[in-house]
């Protein structure tokens, strides 16, 4: 809670867990930087890379580092993270000594993969997917005539393809079929997260703005801001159901239902005539309650615009934003079934029921906050880079890349544990 002097829960105080294994190797994880000192909060890719480095570094004596494949940044010391803790090199400088190459956050063609394999026959290459490429490709096909398919879907030559669990529903069979991959070479792997980076930013922000990022209790609902952080870039994470939810709350309770509804990444929607026509007819708009703003870093958006966060997704039931919001103690009203045991969960597109849930949360969250935070702490640990079960799963996955069948592992992911069944 904001202003609390209590230490973080014990689960968050675990610093390092080492699991001894036989193989010590060089593991390179790719990223495609676009400019110097690029913010971690532009998208989730760099955080995916850093959290994976953090996880794999805890396996044992592996040397884990980041490889920039873009050639757009000449001075890699100017990146936005600690390069002693998370070392980064230019791809060409380090690839020869790399044993395992994990392609994440960059486009690496079949031709490049083939060249790499030919030059370094002993190297193992894994394609690690974090995005919903099926949806991206289908939207390009239907709505952007002349666009090309996402190369990641059909590139070949990798030893294995890994994807995070929230992308399994649309993409597992897609990668197998379009990429001509054997079923046992496409694997759902644990999602990994850490509060480390956003906590560091929150500390800096507090010193700069004299404002805490943690949830502040004690407000009357009429003074509370509702907010949404959906990126509004495609149908998977789009704000319209949340507008429906808050519109219903406003119609039911009137002007004192809440203070304002802030839509992050909302200004881009102003380019859409359909969106303007649609929301122009709503009470939220005529009352001035609906506020559209640009994309903010999560910690800034929480501190400046948020008392309760609402979220809606379609087949993308897990992401960093949910975990960050709950880490700072905010009430999260969401429909992400992979964390239905955390936050305040509603099902599917049931915005009427969600609207009533939102009203209840705004009236009663503070009295439930202690149990809410305890429950969330257990769920957050499920995904943390220090979770020994997650670390051990990655150890076995890597072992099996080099020695197929060394560990008998189910290929069926269990969202309730972030592990295999």
pLDDT tens per residue, range 148-180: 555 555 667 889 999 999 999 989 999 888 888
pLDDT of residue 20: 38
Residues, the chain: 421
Indicate yes or no: pTM above 0.95.
no
Q: What are phi and psi of 384, to 5 degrees?
A: -70, 150
DSSP designation for 341: T
- Only one residue has tokens 């005529």, namely 286
* Residues 6+ away with beta carbon under 8 Å from 85: none
Q: How far apart are CA 331 and CA 345, in angstroms?
A: 11
Let me know: does 255 contact 227? Beta carbons within 8 Å: no
Most confident region among 5-14, 39-48, 53-62, 247-256 by mean pLDDT: 247-256
List the domains of the chain with CATH numbers: 10-193+384-420 (3.40.50), 196-381 (3.40.50.2000)
> How much of the chain exceeds pLDDT 90, in percent?
72
Q: What are phi and psi of 358, to 5 degrees?
A: -60, -45
Residues 228-271: pLDDT tens digits?
999 998 889 999 999 999 999 999 999 999 999 999 999 999 99
Let me know: does 239 contact 342? Beta carbons within 8 Å: no
Which of 97, 87, 157, 82 lies closest to 126, judged by CA?
157
Residues 113-143: pLDDT tens digits?
889 999 999 999 999 999 888 888 888 888 8
Of 17-21, 138-142, 277-281, minimum mean pLDDT range: 17-21
DSSP string, 5-47: -PPPPGGGT--------S---EEEEEE---STT--TTSSSHHH
């Amino acid at each position: 809670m904001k202003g609390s002097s209590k230490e973080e829960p014990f689960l968050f105080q675990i610093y390092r867990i080492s699991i001894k294994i036989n193989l010590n190797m060089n593991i390179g994880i790719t990223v495609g930087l676009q400019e110097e000192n690029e913010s971690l909060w532009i998208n989730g890719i760099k955080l995916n890379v850093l959290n994976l480095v953090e996880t794999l570094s805890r396996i044992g004596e592996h040397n884990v580092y980041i490889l920039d494949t873009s050639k757009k940044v000449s001075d890699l010391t100017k990146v936005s993270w600690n390069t002693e803790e998370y070392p980064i090199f230019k791809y060409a400088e380090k690839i020869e000594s790399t044993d395992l190459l994990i392609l994440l956050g960059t486009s690496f063609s079949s031709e490049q993969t083939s060249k790499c394999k030919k030059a370094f026959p002993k190297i193992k290459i894994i394609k690690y997917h974090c995005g919903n490429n099926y949806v991206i490709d289908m939207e390009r096909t239907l709505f952007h005539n002349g666009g090309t398919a996402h190369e990641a879907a059909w590139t070949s030559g990798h030893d294995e393809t890994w994807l995070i669990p929230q992308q399994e529903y649309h993409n597992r069979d897609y990668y197998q079929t379009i990429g001509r991959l054997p079923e046992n070479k496409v694997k759902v792997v644990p999602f990994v997260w850490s509060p480390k980076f956003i906590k560091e930013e929150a500390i800096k922000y507090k010193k700069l703005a004299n404002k805490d990022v943690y949830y502040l209790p004690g407000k009357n609902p009429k003074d509370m801001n509702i907010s949404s952080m959906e990126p509004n870039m495609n149908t998977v994470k789009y704000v319209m159901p949340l507008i429906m939810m808050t519109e219903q709350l406003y119609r039911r309770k009137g002007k004192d239902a809440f203070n304002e509804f802030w839509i992050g990444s909302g200004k881009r929607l102003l380019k859409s005539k359909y969106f303007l026509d649609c929301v122009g007819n709503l009470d939220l708009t005529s009352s001035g309650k609906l506020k559209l703003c640009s994309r903010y870093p999560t910690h800034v958006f929480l501190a400046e615009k948020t008392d309760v966060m609402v979220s809606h997704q379609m087949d993308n039931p897990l992401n960093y934003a949910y975990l960050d919001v709950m880490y700072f103690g905010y009430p999260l009203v969401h429909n992400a079934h992979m964390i239905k045991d955390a936050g305040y969960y509603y099902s599917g597109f049931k915005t009427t029921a969600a609207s009533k849930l939102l009203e209840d949360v705004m009236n009663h969250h503070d009295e439930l906050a202690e149990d809410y935070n305890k429950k969330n702490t257990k769920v957050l640990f499920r995904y943390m880079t220090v979770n020994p079960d997650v670390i051990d799963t990655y150890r076995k996955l890597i072992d099996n890349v080099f020695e197929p069948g060394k560990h008998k592992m189910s290929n069926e992911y269990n969202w309730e544990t972030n592990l295999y069944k």
